[in-house]
A = this chain, B = another copy of it.
Amino acid sequence: MFIGRVKGSLWATRKDEKLSGLKFLVVELDEYNGPQHSLVAADNTGAGLDDLVLVSTGSAARMSLENPEIPVDAVIVGIIDSVEIDQ
Enumerate chain A interface residues (CB-CB to B < 8 A).
1-3, 7-16, 18-19, 24, 26, 32-41, 44-46, 49-50, 54, 56-64, 69-75, 77-86
Contact = CB atoms under 8 A, between A and B. Distances in A.
A15 B51 CA distance: 13
Q: Could you say how many copies of this chain the assembly holds?
A: 5
Contact of A8 (B18, B49, B84): B84
A31 to B, nearest CB: 8
Contact of A2 (B39, B45, B54): B39
Contacts of A16: 44-45, 64, 77-78
A71 B63 contact: yes
Given A19-B78, A56-B73, A58-B58, A33 B26 contact: no
B61 A2 contact: no
